[in-house]
Amino acid sequence: MPGWSKAGTSPRPPRHAYADNTAPSYTYACRLYPDNFRLVKGPSAIRLTALANRRFRGLLLIWAGVPIAVLYLWGGLVEPLLLGTYQGDFQESYLRAAGRIAAGLDPYDLCQRFGCLEPTGPQYVMPPLLAWLLQPAVHVDGHALGVAVIIVLNAALVVFLWFALKALKVNDWQLAVLLVLVALTFGVTGNIEEGQVNLLLLALSGIWLLAWVDGGWWGGLALGGEVALKLIQAPVGVLVLAGRRWSMLAAAAATGIVLWLVAAPQYLLEYLFRVLPAISAGTGLYENHSPGGTITRLFQPDTFLGAVRGSPPTARAITLGIAVAALALTLWVLRPQAVAATGRALEAGAIVAVTPIVASYSWGTHLVLLLLPMLVLIAWGVRNLDWTVLGLVAAGYLFISPGHHWLQALLASGYSNLFVLRVMAEFGMVGIVAIWIASLLAVGRERNLRASHGLAAEKC
């Protein structure tokens, strides 16, 4: 197989060679890797399958990649530019709030009048920074503004992919194409159609990932800006603190505080003490993929379709307990701190993967919480031929994206079997947990591979 050294390996035996069950338990093989050698089980190293053939893999990627690229270019760029540039969330929430700030009015007026029990719809429920930054766009022509938003969001996706591939040290074009295809098919077009800020956050998270892997403090600037725009990525700060990256932590804190103090600070206290507690209470709406959504739907079934809003106190307490337990387990698994770049990338993936479990709500469109750990795990799983990790990521992908789209299609068609719909509403939560488990499993297995490094280097 390409990428494997000849030293320490043996020629592939005939198919009948081990018919008498005398095959050795392990055959060691050494693989050149960006930061060191690997030790893997021999059967995985020498077995030839269709996917082990590089030419076949290339043809398969081209066969799948061409239609995916065409569909993305049409749905994410050409169609919105030619047939319409109206983005719901951008126009109804972000730009509306920007107009109110520009007029000296409260951007959180809808939260005061109707409540902010769910982070959706025209209510502006983020820190004032984004609305404050958008003030110059309030009086720009709607079509021109829509075009600009589409271009900026596509550029943000490119920035994320470039930094992520660099952080993961992806030098093989086949692995790079695979990761790009996964990104293009995971809800990106929906975020572009709505003008969601998630893609900008994703770009900042890619910058932070590269800094974390390379040990640079400047990733704190990206993290601080990300949290200042939307608090959903705040749990990543726990990893920075636990890893004692003091310069990165200081840069993140300083960046976030400065941005909050210069961006309409007169509304900051209202956001922190009225809006944030309200949306942090959780919701049982079917679009909420977090464990908090599942618990709320169990205790208050009428929240499933939004007939009742909010989350009962018991559900909130259980949700908090799950969040604390998940975060504590993740930090425990991450001990001790990784030294090599691969381990640090898995650390980053694990702490981001636990964020949807810690958050009181998590939509399937939250790319910043899902796509980064998926790409980290796929890159690691492919390099290590770890089918368990890859299988868990694939399950997460299918449950979160196609599974949720299936549920939405049934709801739109008028399907009325509430039991089936309730079960399908938990697909997203199952997918999130699968990705989180895969991240913890990969961290443990990477540590074991590192512990075996000395033996592998000696045999090579």
Please check whether residue 219 is in contact with residue 208, taking contact to mean a CB–CB distance below 8 angstroms.
yes
Residues 229-241 as b/e (b if ≥16 CB within 10 A, e otherwise) read bbbbbbbbbbbbe
pLDDT for residue 454:
54
Question: What is the rounded distance in angstroms from the CA atom of residue 442 to the CA atom of residue 391?
Answer: 12
Cite the DSSP H helix spans in 107-194. Answer: 109-114, 128-133, 142-167, 173-184, 188-194
* Among the listed residues 137, 300, 255, 119, the one whose alpha carbon sits nearest the alpha carbon of residue 198: 119
Q: For residue range 59-98, what is the model confidence (pLDDT) as tens digits?
A: 889 998 999 999 888 888 888 777 766 777 888 889 999 9
Torsion of CA 322, 324, 329, 332, to 10 degrees: 180
pTM metric for this prediction: 0.86
Please check whether residue 360 is in contact with residue 282, taking contact to mean a CB–CB distance below 8 angstroms.
yes
**If you search the block for the tokens 């975060």, which residue do you land on?**
327
pLDDT for residue 192:
86
Question: Hey, what amino acid is at 82?
Answer: L
Radius of gyration of the CA atoms of the chain, in A: 24
pLDDT for residue 248:
95
Question: What is the rounded distance in angstroms from the CA atom of residue 413 to the CA atom of residue 411?
Answer: 5
* Among the listed residues 428, 423, 435, 422, the one whose alpha carbon sits nearest the alpha carbon of residue 405: 428
Please check whether residue 118 is in contact with residue 280, taking contact to mean a CB–CB distance below 8 angstroms.
no
Beta-carbon count within 10 A of 293 CB: 30
pLDDT for residue 4:
38
pLDDT for residue 251:
96
Q: Is 22 exposed, middle or buried (0-12, 13-18, 19+ CB in 10 A)?
A: exposed
Question: What is the rounded distance in angstroms from the CA atom of residue 215 to the CA atom of residue 341?
Answer: 9
User: What 3-state DSSP class applies to 30?
Assistant: strand
Please check whether residue 94 is in contact with residue 124, taking contact to mean a CB–CB distance below 8 angstroms.
yes
Residues 88-123 as b/e (b if ≥16 CB within 10 A, e otherwise) read ebbbbbbbbbbbbbbeeebbbebbeeeebbbbbeeb
pLDDT for residue 287:
84
Please check whether residue 377 is in contact with residue 438, taking contact to mean a CB–CB distance below 8 angstroms.
yes
Inter-CA distances, 22 with 19, 154, 310, 361, Å: 8, 56, 63, 54
pLDDT for residue 365:
63
User: What 3-state DSSP class applies to 116?
Assistant: coil
What's the distance, CA 379 to chain centroid? 14
Torsion of CA 169, 201, 226, 112, to 10 degrees: -160
| Phi, psi dihedrals of residue 39, rounded to the nearest 5° | -120, 120
Give the orientation angle of helix 142-167 with respect to helix 173-184, to 10 degrees: 140
* Among the listed residues 159, 166, 169, the one whose alpha carbon sits nearest the alpha carbon of residue 342: 169
Domain ranges within the chain, ordered by starting residue? 79-267, 281-460
| Residue ranges of the chain with per-residue pLDDT less than 70 | 1-50, 84-85, 117-121, 307, 364-366, 453-460
Please check whether residue 179 is in contact with residue 375, taking contact to mean a CB–CB distance below 8 angstroms.
yes
Sequence length of the chain is 460
Report which DSSP code applies to 12: P
Residues 32-50 as b/e (b if ≥16 CB within 10 A, e otherwise) read ebeeebbbbebeebbeeee
